[in-house]
Amino acid sequence: MSDAAQSDAARSDAARSDAARSDAGQIYPLGLQVTGRLVVVVGGGPVAARRVRSLLDAGARVRVIAPHVVLGEQGIPVASETPDPVDGEPAPGTVQWVRREYRTGDLDGAWLAHTATGSAATDQQVADDAERARIFCVTAGDASVGSAWVPAVARTTLTDGAEVTVAVTAGRDPRRARAIRDAVAGQLQSGALPLRRQRARGGATPGRVWLVGGGPGDTGLLTARGRAVLAQADVVVVDRLGPRALLDELAPEVEVIDVGKTSGNHPVPQHEINALLVQHARAGRDVVRLKGGDPYVFGRGGEELAACRDAGVEVEVVPGVTSAVSVPAAVGIPVTHRGLARGFSVLTGHDGAATVPGGPDHTLVLLMGVTHLADTAAALITADRPADTPAAVVEDGYGPRQRVTVGTLATIAARAAEAGVKPPAIIVVGDVVRLSPAWPVP
């Protein structure tokens, strides 16, 4: 080697040593576009295979240099095998395997190098060659030897199709980086982070609609998918019984439209709600229709879905925890129980409940039935369903006024009136009511 070359090598080695000693906070974070570019991976073990898989996913041309590889065992196909690099480069997204030990010169033409050989001497040689060739190098064995680091990565595809990539480095502590990565990924999936699009859609691109079941009202019972789409909404059309506390978490610029109904008072008719969803989506906004319970359990979700589809608006249903099952459970009443109830029916309190067959061993769950409770209870008394069939009224399930009133079909209306029961409330009829802690012990 000439004196000039030796001097250059010494300067390179010194610069790399200084970099290794520098504080990790001085790392310059950068995302690399490796699609169609040659990346050389030295080593063929499991660590190298993980690097290869990520590079292939990114569309790189990958050349692996190692006498033995586990790529096939990891489900990574090798497109070509040669004892020496051939003219040209592997095709994008493919692996070329050079079946021998690493040699100086193997990095020619590479944009990036990864070395994971398990040999400190070989990794050092690759890093030295990369430094002289001004190629960034990742070393798996000793991170301080290399000039680049692979972060712990989490990727999430948002509702508008955008991919959010979170890359974490933690002072060359990969376990800490992975722990932080996992925590951030969990918040991305739960909607706890600000995921809403900040730039308006270009052109006439329409928005989308999500019909989200909010559960019985407790914010913790909204699904992770529901929270994620809510965090990305431009407009939220909300019912009275949805988890309204979540609205306080929305950005100030999110438009909230209250279409809540109460008994006998429907200030916004259903056809106008349908029109609102279509109108805002056509204007390029992402719309969440936040409903109580599940959209398809007496929630008119089917009507809203049909309206959006008829208008050519993309729509998705995000199921919710239905109050028909969850609210009885909140006070210790299962809708089915071995030896007591083999099935259950869910109806509205004004839907002819008396016509439902079955006796006390078939649970009836009545929604929106408090106003007509006396008439309904009387109509439910049949030869198969006697007057002493247990019944319960559960008010404000999972809410601050949660309360259960129990009795029989013969007494429940009077007891509810005495207790001053108010909507929202769910009525449960059947032997399963005896399992509630509120049921008097004989």
Q: How do strand 95-98 and strand 112-115 relate by DSSP bridges?
A: unpaired
Closest CA to 64 of 89, 90, 35, 43: 43
Give the type of residue at 245.
Answer: A
Respond yes or no: is residue 160 known to be catalytic: no
Respond yes or no: is residue 239 known to be catalytic: yes
The residue annotated as part of the active site, out of 123, 239, 294, 396, is 239
The residue annotated as part of the active site, out of 8, 13, 261, 431, is 261
Q: How do strand 425-429 and strand 390-395 relate by DSSP bridges?
A: antiparallel
Give phi and psi for 348, each to the nearest 5: -85, 155
Catalytic residues: 239, 261
